[in-house]
């Protein structure tokens, strides 16, 4: 498959998404805008560079929510620098970080950050651990998290374990964006992608034989065809 050319953009009225990057093992970075609200999804390495190319400082300071699908480095590698940058730039409004229950990476990044900067932080950081699949609303965007299947190898390079992982469906003005994060083929993703205005689907498995970490190209395409439009991301480039 040929390389994606990033950024990938999509917009309907005042609802838009820009995927700055989604390359396995390197970095992900996604910006969602809904009217004046700005959300970040999976702030991987490079997120500050990409945000600064795209947004005015005042809009970066207004980012209200960060949505993390899981704790792998290519999805959270930019969290520390994002938190620090917002402090240096004097952010005043709170920021909520939504993350799957059990995602140790976010908890430890937050704890380390607070240990270093608690006396000089200018804004509230609210950690919101997502335990179920309940919907909630932020800035008039309806957010529906859903469980996905994503595993990682233990140190023997054979045994795998499930990583706390979520996909998210964002609905604004009746337009629906479904982002599966990193996932193997799973029924929850099938259900939420179906009929969405946009599905963003990873095709991270470079083999035709399905596994329990990433989707093959044909699995991702088969889900994508059930949405009105879809993008394939997280496609290996090497």
205 touching Zn ion, by CB under 5 A = no
Burial of 83 (0-12, 13-18, 19+ CB in 10 A): buried
**Residues touching Zn ion, count (CB under 5 A):** 2
Q: Which stretch binds Zn ion (CB under 5 A): 55-63, 64-72, 98-106, 224-232?
A: 64-72
Out of 42, 65, 182, 202, the only residue in the binding site for Zn ion (CB under 5 A) is 182
CA neighbor of 53 nearest in space, from 20, 13, 16, 88: 20
Out of 72, 176, 192, 234, the only residue in the binding site for Zn ion (CB under 5 A) is 72
Q: Which stretch binds Zn ion (CB under 5 A): 55-63, 70-78, 89-97, 216-224?
A: 70-78
Q: Which stretch binds Zn ion (CB under 5 A): 55-63, 126-134, 153-161, 177-185?
A: 177-185
Question: Min. distance of Cβ 181 from Zn ion in angstroms?
Answer: 8
DSSP-assigned states of every residue in 105-158: HHHHHHHHHHHHHTTT--S-EEEEEE-S---EEETTEEEEEEE---EEE-TTSS
HSE of 78, CA atoms in CB hemisphere, 13 A? 27
Cβ closer to Zn ion: 65 or 202?
202
Rounded to an integer, what is the distance from CA 71 to the centroid of its chain? 10
Positions in the binding site for Zn ion (CB under 5 A)? 72, 182
């Amino acid at each position: 498959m040929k390389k994606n050319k990033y950024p990938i953009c999509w917009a309907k009225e005042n609802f838009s998404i820009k995927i700055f990057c989604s390359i396995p093992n390197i970095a992900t970075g996604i910006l969602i805008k809904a009217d004046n609200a700005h959300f970040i999804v999976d702030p991987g390495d490079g997120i500050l560079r990409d945000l600064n190319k795209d947004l005015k400082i005042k809009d970066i300071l207004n980012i209200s929510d960060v949505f993390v699908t899981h704790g792998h480095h290519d999805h959270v590698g930019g969290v520390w620098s994002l938190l620090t940058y917002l402090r240096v730039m004097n952010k005043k409004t709170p920021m909520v970080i939504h993350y799957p229950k059990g995602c140790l990476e976010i908890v430890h990044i937050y704890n380390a950050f607070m240990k270093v900067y608690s006396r000089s932080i200018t804004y509230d950081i609210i950690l919101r651990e997502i335990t179920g699949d309940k919907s909630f609303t932020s800035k008039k965007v309806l957010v529906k998290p859903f469980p996905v299947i994503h595993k990682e190898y233990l140190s023997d390079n054979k045994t795998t374990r499930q990583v706390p992982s979520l996909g998210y469906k964002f609905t604004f003005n009746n337009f629906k964006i479904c982002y599966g994060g990193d996932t193997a083929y799973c029924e929850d993703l099938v259900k939420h992608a179906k009929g969405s205005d946009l599905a963003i689907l990873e095709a991270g498995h470079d083999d035709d034989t399905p596994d329990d970490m990433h989707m093959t190209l044909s699995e991702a395409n088969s889900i994508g065809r059930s949405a009105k439009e879809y993008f394939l991301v997280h496609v290996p480039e090497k």
